[in-house]
Structures are given as structure tokens and as C-alpha cells.
A and B are shown apart, each in its own frame.
Chain A
């Protein structure tokens, strides 16, 4: 019995690489540009949508899209994928970086071998990219969220922020802009108190505990701002469970599917997010423009991106350049129904 199982195992192990070869035996049509998109990790609906948009944009222009993502959101795993892509001599690589600096050696090597490298959504450092495709202006996100909280609290009361991890660079940048908005308009926000910034680490259980602690510690809390999808959904859940709809509101950035229930039941009057499909789509057009030599990544250059219109490359705050998709999109009871099934 044991021998049978062992030999079966050996057969399976022997066949596995062959099967993988067959599975990945991509059709190599000559003359078709191949553009790669590397996301942070697999199994992330947000990333799936970004890759979907990228594929749509590339195929509209007659190219072939290669979509890759590692199992774990680490820079090491992305480096391996990029090395494979260099070996395949793709025309361009667009990457959602798992690390700002760690990808520099491999990405510069890619550029040296003639591949156009862009980052999308989560940036890599300016040396490692031609330009960065940014979802929305970080400043606009931060300021918009404070204005939303002001609106929901009727101008007065305690507000708190529920973030992802304390090191998350996107979230920290948005929170900085939220604080700037508060500091720059002391008269407008005189009665609005930011009482605490809590960190739910993008874990469901921890985000729930942190939300409960906020509610316990600040009985007069009016609004929770959560610029992360796990956090905002956890806060929506706690407010709903405890029957606090109408007393405490939550707003921030979240996936429409995750937030549909809480937007419909009033726990979250409205929230924001950009469209990840459009981020991918815009990246696709920027990638093709870079490969064709229409753009080099310098500020001031323009290119057109299919259904999204024309875009201009601008200076980014990190010293490189970037392309901004636009203002964050607002989801409220009037439009959530059509978006909840999309992403």
C-alpha cells in the first residue's frame, strides 16, 4: 500500500514540471508587442481588476498582455518574476511595487536591456521607473476625507482615523494630508477634534477590536475615517452590529462590494475610491506610448489613453514623474448598486 502511494507521488512529481511547461507555453506570435503587468500578490480582487483593465487597454492596441503576481506580497517574489520577464524580452513591465527601493537593481537591469518600466498604483523609486501611474492625488484624497468627516459630523465633534499598519506608506501619506487639511484651516475645523489614529493592520479581527476600542474610549465619537478597505468594512460592521447607525458614521476608501451593505444601511453615507480598472487601463496606454517612444517619462509630455482621454505627465513629490488618474470617485446610495458587482 505504502509503496503504491510513494510511486504514485513520484509519478506526479515527475509529471508536474511537464504540465507546467504546457500550461505556460505562451503563444509567441511574432510582431505582437508583449506587455507585462506585475501586481503585489495573487487573490486580491482590487489587483484582479487592475490587471483586467491593463489587459483591456493592451488588447485594444493590438498587443499581448502578460499578467503576473506572486503568492506573497514581497519584493523578493516580484524580483523573480521580473527576472523571468527580462529573459522573455517583453516590451514593457508595469509594476505595483511591494517595496519602494528593493526593486531598483532588477528594474534598472530591465531598463538596460531595453524594456520600458513603469510603476502603477504603488510606486517604486524614480531611478527604477520611467514614470508612475498614480490613482489619485494623495493631497486630494487626504483633504477630501477630512471634508467628508466635517460634513458627516455637521462641523463639530470627535473624529478618529482607523488605518492599515503603522508603516503603510500610502495610508501614512494620506493621513499626513488629512492633518495638513486640519492644520491649515483652524477656523473651519475649530470644533472638529481628531482624537486618535488607530491601526487595524488590515486584519479583520484587529480592525474590529480597534473600532470597538474607539467607540468605548470616545463615547461622543462622530466619524471614523478608514482609508483602507478592511478597516472601513470592519468599522461598518461594528457600527451596524451595535445599532449605532446614525450616531457614528464611517467614511474613507473601500471596495464598493465590501461596503455596499453599509452604504445602503446608512452606516457609511458615502466613501471614495478610484476605479482600479481605469488605473490598469491608463497604465496600458502609458506602457505602449513608452515602448513606441511617444513618451520618455519627462514632465510635460502628453499621451492619449483611449476612452479616458488625454493625460499629461507631471512632477511627483518623490522627485520622479507621475500621471494622475483623477479625483477619487464617490460612492453613495445612488450609485453603489451598479458598482457592487463590479469590484
Chain B
């Protein structure tokens, strides 16, 4: 077995481990509360996880380029708020247009972050921390501190999140489509592959003529766009836009990526792993209330699971690298 194959093998081993863990957890929860594996509950589990899944794709691309984006919760709040205000003022607006509006605003905000990071070499954590506060502040400014409530939104707009396409909830459909689009983008386009090249070895990528800055700009713009989309979906789902919407949600998204095997140090991350990581978090959020875990423990349990995933990650990788080195010595 050559080195590359071995790497792929251990990586799938990790995913297999996560899948196994999900199955064991599900069976255990099922024993405690038989309502867990019912169609109804699985449907609400997936619906509640869809927004997280969409955001995780963008975050994975950002992490792959060795960056991080802390501003996405704020961008969701802002795009959600602006879209909700639009819907309240123009009740006849088509849902598709509302989604487009939110996404477009998100892209613009993401591009600002992109310029800061790619053009002015501001550290991603600092640039996005700044954007996080600026955009959150803007949200309060445009809303004047008021909330937009359910009765101010049209039924069509709320149906974005509650309606069904071919019997499946729209949020799930949107998440699946986003995954398909990005599977193609990441695996089958030159730009997609180059993002990984930039992340795994920036110096080599630049020497080989890959436009590093342009790609870094691109990933933040994509992240912004997905955050904008998620912001609209969030507001439609909960039928309420408030200034502190999704505060701190970026940490959930980053946790989903880490669980899914995306490396904070860049260059590594697969959509299949990401999907498992997201579903894992979704199951925790759904199952812990079902088995009546004390609220004091819920956060702690989530943290332990993320830490365990990171530890496995490190150990699997170290093992692989050691084997690779040993082979080279011979």
C-alpha cells in the first residue's frame, strides 16, 4: 500500500469511527426514549441541522486556507434582519427574491472580510472579530432595536422554512442542493482543488502560479454568501428577526467542522466527514433534551464530544505520519 492510499485509508477509518459512534449513540438514546428514531423526530432533527450544515461547508473552505471566520453569526443576524424588514415593508416580495437579497448582502460583507485578509494581510481571526462587532452593531442600527415578528412576515416567506418539496422539508432540500453544488466545486473544478493547494502549502502554491490572494478572497466571499443564505433561512424558520440572532453560532459551526475532521491548520477537510460531524452535533442537540439530560450537563457533554473528536484526529494523523516517515527511512 503506498503512502497516499494509506492516508486515504486512515481518513476513511476516522469517518468510519465517527459513523460507528453516531450509530452507538443513536441506539443508546433509542433505548432511553423510543421517540428518538421516529420519522417525525428524524425529520425535525434534519430540519434543525440544515442551517448548520450549510454554514459548515463555507467554514470548511475557510479553515482549509488556514483561516477562520468569526463573523458569520453577525452576518446571519444582519442579512436576516434586512430581509425581514424588506418582507415586512413589501409583503408581496417573492421568497426567491428574499433569499437572493440576503445572500447578496452576505456576499458583499464576506468580500469586505476577504479584502481585509487577502489584500491587507490582516490575520483572519482579527479581521473577522472586527467584522463580527461591526456587523452586529449595524444590525442594531438598521433595526433600531426592534424585532420583526411573525405577524409582519408573509406566509410565503415563512414557507421557505416550513414548506415541502417532494415531501421533504425545504431546508433539507436547500442543504442537500448546496452540498451537491460544493461537492462538484471542490472535487471537480480547478479553483476548488487550488483552494486545498493554498491551504496545505501556501509557499509552494504561490511558486507554482496559483493566485493565492484571489482564492483567499473567494473563500470569505463564499462564506459570506452562505451566511447570508443561512440568515434568511433562520429568520424564516423561527419567524422572528432580532438583533441578537445567532449570537455565538460561529462556534457551533467551527465545532461541526472539527468533529468532521477539518484541520484548523489548513489543507485538510472532506465534505463526507463534514456531513457526519454536522449530523453528530445535530443528534446531540436533538437527543440530549429527549433523554432529559440536566441543562447543566448539556454543554459539557457537547464539549467532551468535540474534544474527543480532536484527540482522535490528532492520534490518527500522527500515526499516519509516523508510518509514512518509517517507510521513507527504508
Interface residues of A (CB under 8 A from B): 2, 5, 42-45, 47-48, 165-166, 196, 198-199, 201, 204-206, 208-210, 212-214, 216-217, 219, 233-234, 236-237, 241, 255, 257-258, 260-262, 264, 340
Contact = CB atoms under 8 A, between A and B. Distances in A.
Contact of B150 (A44, A198, A233): A233
A198 B145 CA distance: 28
B289 A210 contact: yes
16 contacts: A42-B140, A43-B145, A44-B145, A45-B145, A47-B145, A48-B146, A196-B292, A206-B285, A208-B48, A217-B35, A241-B162, A257-B149, A257-B151, A258-B150, A258-B240, A260-B150
Contacts of B290: 213, 216-217
The list of the 4 closest CB pairs from A to B, nearest first, reads A213-B289, A43-B243, A216-B35, A261-B150
Contacts of B182: none
A5 B40 CA distance: 55
A209 B289 contact: yes
A260 B150 CA distance: 8
A154 B145 CA distance: 39
A70 B247 CA distance: 16
Contact of B289 (A45, A198, A204, A255): A198
Nearest to B244: A43
A213 B286 contact: yes
B82 to A, nearest CB: 15
Interface of B: 33, 35-36, 38, 40-41, 44, 48, 120, 139-140, 143, 145-147, 149-152, 162, 234, 238-240, 242-245, 285-286, 289-290, 292, 295-296
B140 A43 contact: yes
Given A216-B33, A216-B35, A261 B149 contact: yes
B295 A166 contact: yes
Contacts of B145: 42-45, 47-48
Contact of B143 (A43, A201, A241, A264): A43
Nearest to B48: A209
A340 B140 CA distance: 21
A97 B289 CA distance: 31
Given A42-B140, A216-B40, A216-B41, A233 B151 contact: no
A242 B295 CA distance: 25
Contact of B151 (A47, A204, A264): A264
A68 to B, nearest CB: 13
Contacts of A45: 145-147
A166 B289 CA distance: 14
Contacts of B295: 165-166, 199, 201
Contacts of A241: 162
A258 B143 CA distance: 15
Contacts of A255: 147, 149
A121 to B, nearest CB: 16
Nearest to A214: B289
A210 B298 CA distance: 12
Which residue of A44, A48, A165 has the most chain B CB atoms within 10 A of its CB atom? A44
B151 A216 contact: no
A216 B245 contact: no
A45 B242 CA distance: 9
Given A44-B145, A44-B243, A258-B240, 16 more contacts: A43-B139, A45-B146, A47-B145, A166-B296, A204-B238, A209-B289, A212-B289, A213-B290, A214-B289, A216-B38, A217-B292, A257-B151, A258-B149, A260-B151, A261-B150, A264-B151
